[in-house]
Amino acid sequence: MSYIPGQPVTAVVQRVEIHKLRQGENLILGFSIGGGIDQDPSQNPFSEDKTDKVNGWDMTMVTHDQARKRLTKRSEEVVRLLVTRQSLQKAVQQSMLS
Amino acid sequence: MPEAPDVLEETVTVEEDPGTPTSHVSIVTSEDGTTRRTETKVTKTVKTVTTRTVRQVPLGPDGLPLLDGGPPLGPFADGALDRHFLLRGGGPAATLSRAYLSSGAGFPEGPELRDSSSYGSLSRGLGVRPPRAGPLGPGPGDGCFTLPGHREAFSVGPEPGPPGGRSLPERFQAEPYGLEDDTRSLAADDEGGPELEPDYGTATRRRPECGRGLHTRAYEDAAVDGGELTDERPAFPAVTAPLAQPERAAWAAWTGWCGASPSVDSARAGGTLSCLRCWPMRPPTCNICALRTRVSSGVYGSCGGCHCLWRCWTTRWAEVRRRACGALRNLSYGRDTDNKAAIRDCGGVPALVRLLRAARDNEVRELVTGTLWNLSSYEPLKMVIIDHGLQTLTHEVIVPHSGWEREPNEDSKPRDAEWTTVFKNTSGCLRNVSSDGAEARRRLRECEGLVDALLHALQSAVGRKDTDNKSVENCVCIMRNLSYHVHKEVPGADRYQEAEPGPLGSAVVSQRRRRDDASCFGGKKAKGKKDGEMDRNFDTLDLPKRTEAAKGFELLYQPEVVRLYLSLLTESRNFNTLEAAAGALQNLSAGNWMWATYIRATVRKERGLPVLVELLQSETDKVVRAVAIALRNLSLDRRNKDLIGSYAMAELVRNVRNAQAPPRPGARLEEDTVVAVLNTIHEIVSDSLDNTRSLLQARGVPALVALVASSQSVREAKAASHVLQTVWSYKELRGTLQKDGWTKARFQSAAATAKGPKGAPSPGGFDDSTLPLVDKSLEDEKTGSRDVIPMDALGPDGYSTVDRRERRPRGIGSAGEASEKEPLKLDPSRKAPPPGPSRPAVRLVDAVGDAKPQPVDSWV
């Protein structure tokens, strides 16, 4: 999907629930994240998954740091993510068409 | 009734409360302009029935009472209301002459403190105060506006100059009038009726500040809260409780007096304020409330609201004073500096200081110091506060509350510090002003007893293991600020300057422990080191003999403080305190003078290095930064350098690695911190092959290379490259490096882009209130300016809006404003906290933006 800045976007999302692992005294998720509104999107090192929400926190307008913080809150053992990805969108569209 | 003007005998009819016998001084100015100052003993008798001559004062179309120049002393003849309005100007005739009104006597004049006497007399008449439901506060529980003798604290000062014919109208309004007036006084914009809250309800203009009232006292004094002070008439409280006639009359009189401005907003403000001015008598909740609302709209300054407030301060009515103070504090709160400037222009600072000296009411003191805290976040006011208030704050608050005794009695146990709100506010204020530059520092250092008291307080805190509170934080910050550039600024510093370390003075100081040069990390002996460095001679820290104990600013750099700071670093969990203590050590270790040498060695001997290294693991950026820079300065001492290189390298590298790829959640460091760590690494690998080997062993090279490659920050990259360049300069290591797969290019490439001598020094931007901690080491003196952040360059004291980051007055920690005062806080503090910009990160080296910052990814 293409995003036009400033325009509302509709997206197909997938809910993902992850329980954090305990590593030492920290809770980790086990993956890396990249991006953020303060980052250059063309250099996004990772896949096309985009996170829309984390545990209810909006992730569509966050900087990298904020995103990381929201994912790594110590107090939350579970993160519920709403992710969206292009392939998902396409799959849904196709299934709707057919 | 007394006829003679100078016989003031009055009988006050107290509706409910018995009067309190008081004596007061009144100043009566006869109509011919002569002034008599009379001391009167007042005997109040309680009468339950009041018969008064009630005169309905006809109001003119403009709301002003039509004065008919009533009989002199006529009202005085009235048992109840006599002396109510002792006019300065008139003898008993105290009539509110229209001439007076029209002459506009007085109001827009300067601080009306001198009017206190007249207020005093007024208040006498108003001996009755409707009973207050709520506690009156620390004042005498008189529950009325009586003139308790002790209120004279700041009562009449020197006789005021020629009274501007200020007369108080001696009009009494009949009760019925009062009631009517209630209605009338509720102007259209008055929303509310009487407010029963102390939160001054100017209903219409209720603003958050207003809402709070000075205290959350349950003033259920119906009489007090009242409608808003409207233009024409001050809201006449809907007195349900019997409001003493005199008061009401006074009120009405005042109303009439002030009268009249058309109801326009600005005029309202003016009218309100002028009403306020002449209204010292009763605790005008409404007045102050209205004032506050006006304040927010910026009318304050222009309308001379300060004058009003100050006049209120001098009133005998404790409540008025408190509310005035509260209002002022609210005014001073906030990021908006206009009000602060207005306060300054009205001469508020000296007035506040005077009030502090005079007031014994703790609440007032809290408010005053809170206001000063708020004001101190405003840059132009800092020196003003120092000029007027330093002595007072020190002697009235800091010294007494710290437990320090100037002439300690040998037998007595040292007193503990009292962590009062007043102390907190005052220490907060001094914290802010201490960041104002060299002159400010000099003044504070030289203020007699200040440093001693602060140190005593801190030691008492450590002793009681109570090191996390805000007052301790403030004190440590002051100490840090005052330690900045001690080597340049204290008198006599020249004596101690050392071009190179020389042998120490001969004498042995008895207190010093002669320790072996045992490393705090474990048994490294200094003797083994052939270092020809400064501290070679300082193995046994021979300090110059002191003939007398150090005092004053000398205490700042005595090695004894090292133990204090290290204790704070060990015990406190308050990040600001940790940062400040590390910063103090950093400041003290900088500088090319003898005391710094001692300090550096003392830190080592006191086993301080492990404490600092452990703090490198802190999750708080600013702590890591301060500690890193402290270690850097400490490593000017050769032995320290070796120790730090061995034992701290792992932590430092870990921080670098975190910067590049945070392995733990939340471990991403700020740029300034990373640069500080890199600079520290650079310092310890310079001129030390061993340390560089340690760096390699700690796998620092991959981390550095990765940082250079991936960092978004130009400064970080430069600093990292600088380290790499230095590493490469050790030929002995090149073999090892190449064996590990590193090429020269890796080390040189970044270096090529790194401009500037010392990488990108991180000045370590600090909060307003604290001085820049960075004080580069000697070698960097020339380029050190880069590292030293001029204090003025720091942003506004974040402190100001302290607490709560709004709370200032209440101390930053305290709950701030919310409770009673407005949540202003200059800085984080409550209420008018000083603007609290949290930290202006001063970047000395501009990050020449990369066109496209490297993508950052985090491990979560």
The CA radius of gyration of chain A, in Å to the nearest whole number, is: 15
Distance CA B8, CA B1 (A): 9
Q: How far is A95 from chain B (nearest CA, A)?
A: 34
Q: Please judge whether B668 and A28 are an interchain contact, meaning their C-beta atoms are less than 8 angstroms apart.
A: no
Of these ranges, B137-141, B168-172, B619-623, the one predicted with the greatest mean pLDDT is: B619-623
User: How many Å lie between the alpha carbon of B727 and the closest alpha carbon of chain A?
Assistant: 31
Query: Is the minimum CB–CB distance between A47 and chain B shorter than 8 Å?
Result: no
Q: pLDDT per residue over B740-788, tens digit each?
A: 888 777 777 644 544 444 433 434 333 333 444 444 433 333 333 344 3
The C-alpha atoms of residue B850 and residue B252 are separated, in whole angstroms, by 71
B857 touches chain A (CB under 8 A): yes
CATH of the domain at B385: 1.25.10.10
Both B441 and B464 in one domain: the answer is yes
pLDDT confidence of residue B613 = 92
Residue B715 has pLDDT above 50, yes or no: yes
Q: Give whichever of A3-7, B258-262, B549-553 has the largest mean pLDDT.
A: B549-553
Contact between B856 and A64 using a beta-carbon 8 Å cutoff = yes
**Mean pLDDT (whole number) for B165-192:** 39
Q: Which of residues 523-582 of B touch A (CB under 8 A)?
A: none
Q: B63: alpha, beta or left, given left = phi > 0 and alpha = psi -120 to 50?
A: left
pLDDT greater at residue B374 or residue B189: B374
* pLDDT tens-digit map of B332-343: 887 777 778 878
CA distance B670 to chain A (A): 11
- Is pLDDT of B566 > 90? yes
pLDDT in tens, B70-112: 344 433 344 333 344 433 333 444 344 444 444 434 334 334 3
Do B647 and B573 share a structural domain? Answer: no
Q: Do the Cβ atoms of A68 and B853 come within 8 Å?
A: no
- Smallest CA–CA distance, residue B576 to chain A, in Å, is 22
Percent of chain B surpassing pLDDT 90: 15
Query: What pLDDT score does B855 carry?
Result: 59
DSSP classification of residue B635: T
Which residues of A fall within a CB distance of 8 Å from B709?
Answer: none
Say if residue B457 is in the same domain as residue B598: yes
Q: HSE of B336 in the Cβ direction (CA atoms, 13 Å)?
A: 15
Pairwise pLDDT comparison (A47 vs B91), residue with the higher score: A47
Q: Is the pLDDT of residue B316 over 80?
A: no
A55 touches chain B (CB under 8 A): no
What share of chain B has pLDDT > 70, as a percent? 43
CB contact under 8 A, B664 and A27: no
Would you tell me how many other CB atoms lie within 10 Å of the CB of residue B666? 17
Ramachandran bin of B465, using left for φ above 0, alpha for ψ from -120 to 50, beta for the remaining angles = left
Residues B444 and B591 in one domain: yes
Task: Look at residue B164 and tell me if it is in a domain.
Answer: no
B463 and B435 housed in the same domain: yes
Question: Based on the domain organization, do B436 and B573 belong to the same domain?
Answer: yes
- Predicted local confidence at residue A47, as pLDDT: 62
Where a domain ends, among B605, B620, B644? B605
Tally of helices (H runs) and strands (E runs) in chain B: 36, 3
Cβ within 8 Å of residue B445, ≥6 positions away: B451, B482, B489, B490, B552, B553, B556
Q: How far is CA B295 from the centre of its chain?
A: 20
Average pLDDT of B409-418? 70
Distance CA B853, CA B675 (A): 17
In the predicted model, is pLDDT for residue B480 greater than 80?
yes
**Strand bridging mode B857-859 / B35-42:** unpaired
Integer Cα distance of B281 and B452 in angstroms: 42
Beta strands B857-859 and A21-23 are unpaired
The answer to whether the CB atoms of A28 and B856 lie below 8 A apart is: no
Helix (H), strand (E), coil (C) string for B173-184 = CCHHHHHHHHHH
Three-state DSSP string of B238-265 = CCCCCCCHHHHHHHHHHHHHHCCCCCCH
* Facing residue for B859 by CB, picked from A32, A44, A74: A32
DSSP structure string for B430-475: HHHHTTS-HHHHHHHHHSTTHHHHHHHHHHHHHHTT---SHHHHHH
Determine the Cα angle at B43 with ends B42 and B46, to 5°: 135
The pLDDT score that the predictor gives to residue B512 is 39
Q: List the single residue in B with minimal CA-CA distance to A79.
A: B860
Neighbouring CB atoms inside 10 A of B545's CB total 11
The predicted pLDDT at position A91 comes to 78
Is residue B725 a part of any domain in this protein? yes
Q: Structure tokens of B118?
A: 């007249």
Rounded to an integer, the average pLDDT of B309-322 is 63
Asked if the C-beta of A35 comes within 8 angstroms of chain B's C-beta atoms, the answer is: yes
Q: pLDDT tens digit string along A67-98?
A: 777 777 767 677 788 877 777 777 777 787 76
Residue B246 lies in a domain: no
Are the C-beta atoms of residues A83 and A71 closer than 8 Å to each other?
no
* Contact criterion met (CB below 8 Å) for B195 and B219: no
- Which of B15-24, B315-324, B778-787 comes out lowest in average pLDDT? B778-787
Tell whether B66 is within 8 A of chain A (Cβ).
no
ipTM: 0.74
**CB neighbours of B639 closer than 8 A, spacing ≥ 6?**
B517, B519, B524, B526, B529, B531, B533, B535, B601, B604
Whether residue B858 and residue A35 make contact (CB cut-off 8 A), yes or no, is no
> In a 10 Å sphere around its CB, with 0-12 CB exposed, 13-18 middle and 19+ buried, how is residue B448 labelled?
middle
Q: How confident is the model at residue B39 (pLDDT cuts 50, 70, 90)?
A: low
Considering only CA atoms, which of B319, B286, B27, B313 is closest in space to residue B146? Answer: B319
Per-residue pLDDT of B362-412, as tens digits, reads 888 898 899 899 999 988 889 989 998 898 899 888 888 888 877 766 666
- Using the Cβ of B849 and the Cβ atoms of chain A, whether some distance falls under 8 Å is answered with no
**Could you tell me how many residues make up chain A?**
98
Name the closest residue on chain A to residue B663, using Cα atoms: A28
Sign of CA dihedral B45, B48, B52, B57: positive
Q: What is the CA radius of gyration of chain B?
A: 33
pLDDT score recorded for residue B843: 37
pLDDT of the residue at B26:
63
Is B717 domain-assigned?
A: yes
Q: Are strands A26-28 and A50-54 parallel, antiparallel or unpaired?
A: unpaired
Report the DSSP pairing between strands A50-54 and A32-34: unpaired
DSSP assignment of B803-820 equals: STTTB-TTTTTS-GGGSS
Q: Is the pLDDT of residue B431 over 80?
A: yes
Q: Collapsing DSSP states into helix, strand and coil, what is residue B131? A: coil
| B140 half-sphere exposure, CB direction, 13 A CA radius | 16
pLDDT in tens, B446-468: 888 899 999 999 999 998 888 89
Query: Structurally, how many domains does chain B consist of?
Result: 3
Burial of B142 per CB tally in 10 Å (0-12, 13-18, 19+): buried
Task: Give the mutation candidate from B619, B654, B857 for the A interface (greatest A CB count, under 10 A).
Answer: B857
The residue in chain B having the minimum alpha-carbon distance to the alpha carbon of residue A45 is B855
Between residues B384 and A6, the one the model is more confident about: B384
Place of tokens 């080592």: B604
A22 touches chain B (CB under 8 A): no
Stronger pLDDT, B679 or B669, i.e. the higher one: B679
Around B596, how many Cα atoms within 13 Å sit in the side-chain half-sphere?
A: 33
Residues B670 and B738 in one domain: yes
Interface with chain B: mutation pick from A23, A38, A64, highest number of B CBs within 10 Å: A64
What pLDDT, in 10s, does the model give residues B489-521? 888 777 777 754 433 433 333 333 334 333 344
Q: What is the pLDDT of residue B25?
A: 62
**Which residue, B731, B751, B771, sits at the end of a domain?**
B751
Classify residue B170: in a domain, yes or no: no
Average pLDDT over residues B805-815: 37
Average pLDDT over residues B21-45: 61
**Residues in contact with B112: Cβ distance below 8 Å, sequence separation at least 6, in sequence order:** B106, B277, B307, B308, B310, B311, B314
B308 pLDDT above the threshold of 80: no
Query: What pLDDT is recorded for position B80?
Result: 38
Chain B residues with CB under 8 Å of A69 CB are: 666
CA distance B461 to B459: 5
CB of A75 less than 8 A from some CB of B: no
Task: Give yes or no: residues B359 and B485 share one domain.
Answer: no
Is B37 part of any domain? Answer: no
In angstroms, the CA B184 to CA B405 distance is: 59
- In a domain, residue B678? The reply is yes
Where is the domain boundary, B726, B751, B776?
B751
Which uninterrupted H or E stretch holds A54? strand A50-54
- What is d(CA B635, CA B589) in angstroms, rounded to the nearest whole number? 9
Q: Which of B384-388, B481-485, B720-724, B748-752 has the lowest mean pLDDT?
A: B748-752
Q: pLDDT at residue B420 above 80? A: yes
Q: Are residues B372 and B438 in the same domain?
A: no
Distance of residue B457 Cα from the nearest chain A Cα, in angstroms: 36
More confident residue, B373 or A66: B373
Characterise B306 by phi-psi region: left (phi > 0), alpha (psi -120 to 50), beta (else).
alpha
**Angle at which helices B438-446 and B470-483 pack, to 10 degrees?**
110
Mean residue pLDDT across chain B: 62
For residue A77, give the 3-state DSSP assignment.
coil
Pair of tokens at residue A85: 């990805």
User: Any chain B CB within 8 A of the CB of A72?
Assistant: yes
Identify whether residues B464 and B600 lie together within a single domain. yes
Which of A16, A68, A71 is the best mutation test for B, with the most CBs of B within 10 A? A68
- How far is A94 from chain B, CA to nearest CA, in Å? 32
Instruction: Report the residue from B665, B668, B853 with minimal CB separation from A40.
Output: B853
B49-58, B338-347, B442-451, B556-565: the lowest-pLDDT one: B49-58
> Is A32 close to B852, i.e. CB distance below 8 A?
no
Which is more confidently placed, A27 or B591? B591
Q: Is B617 on the interface with A (CB under 8 A)?
A: no
Task: Please check whether residues B695 and B647 belong to one and the same domain.
Answer: yes
Gap between the Cα atoms of B517 and B601, Å rounded: 9
Cβ of B860 within 8 Å of Cβ of A26? The answer is: no
Q: What is the pLDDT of residue B309?
A: 60
C-alpha atoms less than 13 angstroms from C-alpha of B17 in its C-beta half-sphere: 20
Range of the structural domain that residue B350 is part of: 304-396
Does B851 reach chain A within 8 Å, measured CB to CB?
Answer: no
Nearest to B856 among A27, A39, A69 (CB): A39
* Residue B247, C-beta contacts closer than 8 angstroms, at least 6 positions apart: B126, B128, B129, B130, B145, B223, B281, B282
Set of chain B residues whose Cβ sits within 8 Å of the Cβ of A27: 665
Q: Does A43 touch chain B (CB under 8 A)?
A: yes
Lowest mean pLDDT among B56-65, B606-615, B829-838: B829-838
Q: B373 in a domain, yes or no?
A: yes
Instruction: Return d(Cα B681, Cα B720) in angstroms, integer.
Output: 9
Phi then psi for residue B574, to 5 deg, are -85, 120
Which domains can be identified in chain A, with CATH numbers?
Answer: 11-95 (2.30.42.10)
- Residue B617, pLDDT > 80, answer yes
Model confidence, pTM: 0.50
Residues B554 and B641 in one domain: no
